Amino acid sequence: MKKNPIYSMRRVFLLSLFVIGLGGLFVRSVYLQLFEHEFLEEEGKARHLRVVEIPAHRGMILDRNGELLAVSTPIYSVWANPLEALQSHKAIRNVSLILNMDADSLIKKLQSKKNRQFLYVKRHIGPQQAEKLKQLGSGGIHLKREYRRYYPTAEVASHVLGFTGIDDNGLEGVELAYEKWLQGRSGAKKVIKDSYSRIVEDVEAMSIPEPGKDMVLSIDKRIQYIAYRELKAKLSKHRAKSASAVLLDAKTGEVLAMANAPSFNPNNRKGYSRGTYRNRAVTDVYEPGSTIKPFTIAAALESQRYTQNTIIHTAPGKYKIGEFTIRDHKNYGSLTVSEIILKSSNVGATKIAQTIPAQELWSTFSSIGIGHSTESGFPGEVSGHLKSFHDWHKVEHATMSYGYGMSTTSLQLARAYAVLASGGKLLPVSMLRKSDEELKNQQKIPAIFSPQTVDKVVTMLTAVVSSEGTGSRAAIPGYSVAGKTGTVHKSAKGGYEEDKYISVFAGMAPASDPQLVLVVMVDQPSSGMYFGGEVAAPIFSKIMGGALRILNISPDKVPLQAHVEPAQDHAG
């Protein structure tokens, strides 16, 4: 049987085309290998070559003794390539189960962002969850290493330290104030990833990550703990709204402790209102009341119009200026200048202030920092208020003498008392441990008051903490204490609240050579006691006593007098 010639021609034609095609492919492959090799290699890499971020941790925050207060710890976050992840709904449901998420919601989220290549699924997961996800495999869901801030002291120092956000950037406190110093700078590198977005090869380091710088605070963690513990306990006992305490090194101006109650845990901030994060020691102002009287007396002594033994007649326990009546807790009769501090006489302080020109009195208050920011660098710090003497009326001239008509923070009041404790110098306060150079430069700061005035006022304040004074409950066994109580009516719209008070005690120890200054403020105690000598003074005793022992400050061996019922301090 003869073959069909048309069929044979077709076979030859098709075979020829096949051979020519193979030949063309061979020639093209040889050409590409010889002449386009580098181009193809780059194109291949471009499809798998990626630039990835190398995270850098924040600097650590340490206390003055090198104890850890804040540190960044490595942690994983979960991210997805939505288009890849949506290829397996089963994988998404497994991931959702591990992360305790709703699977349908996650699928909808991925679908709405499927045009993106990167989408966070969940930030900062636990190590067990991360391990389970590693075992599960990719499926378009990946892990990214990041850092999370951890605070070992939890609520004890939270108002000082503040906290960071989910991206490890400072949001409150020292973390925010020194963000540029603490924040690290991420690096970058080129890597080759496989089809599952796993890194199979490091290609090139583009930039090296730079960790944040460590920071040493002036805070002493041991004293900070005592301060917070005492505030928390007494806040509950007195059913108070809030309380704060500031402890300064009288020789350097460094803040050794700054505590507030109520507090919050920066490691887990769920359930806290934003107002809880406020550092009341630097943001909340109040009228200092009788705690300002020592400076009125200092102005009087500096004017040389008075000595500590000058007699002031305070009978009958009240004094009228126009329609306004200034009152003492009771009729003290004739008092020496020293006894005006001892008994906390408003009438006595007023009569002295009236003989001092307004500008002189204002200058004294201004020079100790009233109405001026401490420049601690703390976020949200307020400067308080001290009206210009040009605007003082007769009544304001009088009330200024016993701490009404001005406002201050606990930190400002502590700095003012440090003037007396340091021999008359207004030292700059600092949340950071000061360098030797800074401390050396402070020696050149001129004194506001003469040494004689400082000695006399401190002696008067020491008597306040005796059995005869309003601050006897501030006494510390083995140490002499100098201080002043304050009981202030809370201001309200159009006047003052009759039954709401702020209790304050400000003082220093040892009185013979002050090393530490402490201010304790309790806002609105509601358990029946509200005088500064009843509420704030005992807290002062506990915190100051603990600090003196921790710092190994020698007792000045002043024998304690027998306890008698203290005089009441009514700083009306």
pLDDT digits (tens, 9 = 90+) for 220-272: 999 999 999 999 999 999 999 999 999 999 999 999 999 999 999 999 988 78
Is the Cα torsion angle 108, 111, 113, 118 positive or negative in sign?
positive
- Indicate whether 194 pLDDT > 70: no
pLDDT of amino acid 562: 43
DSSP track, 152-212:
TTGGGSHHHH-EE-TTS-EEEHHHHHTHHHH--B-EEEEEEE-TTS-EEEEEEEEE--BPP
Whether residue 206 is predicted with pLDDT greater than 70 in this model: the reply is no
Share of the chain above pLDDT 90, in %: 63
Residue whose structure tokens are 């051979």? 19
Task: Work out the angle between the directed axes of helices 451-464 and 410-421 (0-180°, nearest 10).
Answer: 120
Q: Sign of the CA dihedral 444, 449, 453, 455? A: negative
Q: Treating both helix axes as pointing N-terminal to C-terminal, what angle do 532-550 and 221-237 enclose, rounded to 10 degrees?
A: 160
User: What mean pLDDT is predicted for residues 517-542?
Assistant: 96
CA angle 222, 227, 231 (to 5 degrees): 150
Q: Which of 191-200, 275-284, 348-357, 412-421 has the lowest mean pLDDT?
A: 191-200
Give the phi and the psi of residue 189 in degrees, each rounded to 5.
Answer: -150, 155
User: pLDDT band at 39, cuts 50/70/90?
Assistant: low
The CATH number of 221-265+276-550 is which of 3.40.710.10, 3.40.309.10, 3.30.470.20, 3.40.190.10?
Answer: 3.40.710.10
User: ∠ at Cα 38 (35, 43), nearest 5°?
Assistant: 120
Q: What percent of the chain has pLDDT over 70?
A: 87
Q: In this model, does residue 560 exceed pLDDT 60? A: no
- Average pLDDT of the residues in 302-331: 94
Domain with CATH 3.40.710.10 in the chain: 221-265+276-550
The pLDDT assigned to 188 comes to: 64
Q: Find the helix packing angle between 5-35 and 37-48, rounded to 10°.
A: 80
Planar angle of CA 283, 285, 286, nearest 5 degrees? 155
Q: Where is pLDDT greater, at 370 or 114?
A: 370
Q: What average pLDDT does range 22-39 have in this prediction?
A: 66
pLDDT at 190: 61
Average pLDDT, the chain: 88
Neighbours of 195 (CB within 10 A): 9
What φ, ψ does residue 229 adopt, rounded to 5°?
-60, -45
Enumerate residues 6+ apart whose C-beta is below 8 A from 550.
220, 222, 223, 226
User: pLDDT at position 52, please?
Assistant: 58
What is the H or E stretch that residue 235 is in? Answer: helix 221-237
B/e letters for 296-328, b = 16+ CB within 10 Å, e = fewer, are bbbbbbbeeebebeeebebeebebebeeeebeb
Q: So what's the pLDDT on residue 245?
A: 98
Intervals of CATH 3.90.1310.10 along the chain: 52-216
pLDDT of residue 107: 86
The predicted pLDDT at position 208 comes to 76
Confidence check: pLDDT of 376 > 70: yes
Contact indicator for 540, 474 with CB cutoff of 8 Å: yes
Which of 87-91, 132-136, 559-563 has the lowest average pLDDT? 559-563
215-216 and 242-249 strand pairing: unpaired
DSSP letter, residue 429: P
Alpha helices, H only, 344-409: 346-354, 358-367, 394-400
Most distant pair of Cα atoms in the chain: their distance: 151
Angstrom CA distances, 365 to 90, 368, 409, stand at 72, 6, 14
Residue whose tokens read 């009981």? 487
Distances (CA, A) of 483 to 28, 228, 291, 488, 529: 95, 21, 8, 16, 20
The predicted model scores a pTM of: 0.84
- The residues annotated with a catalytic role in the active site are 290
Question: What architecture does CATH give domain 52-216?
Answer: Alpha-Beta Complex (3.90)
pLDDT of residue 572: 45
- Closest CA relative to residue 149, chosen from 58, 280, 270, 53: 58
φ, ψ of residue 499 in degrees (nearest 5): -120, 20
The structure tokens 């003497």 sit at 389
SS3 381: coil
Two structure tokens written together for 302:
């500096």
The Cα–Cα gap between 307 and 450 comes to 14
Q: What is the mean pLDDT of residues 539-560?
A: 89
Which of 242, 265, 234 lies closest to 157 in space, CA to CA? 265
Amino acid at 181: W
Q: What is the mean pLDDT of residues 536-547?
A: 98
Residue-wise pLDDT for 380-423, tens only, equals 899 999 999 999 999 999 999 999 999 999 999 999 999 999 99
Separation CA 550–CA 390 (nearest Å): 47
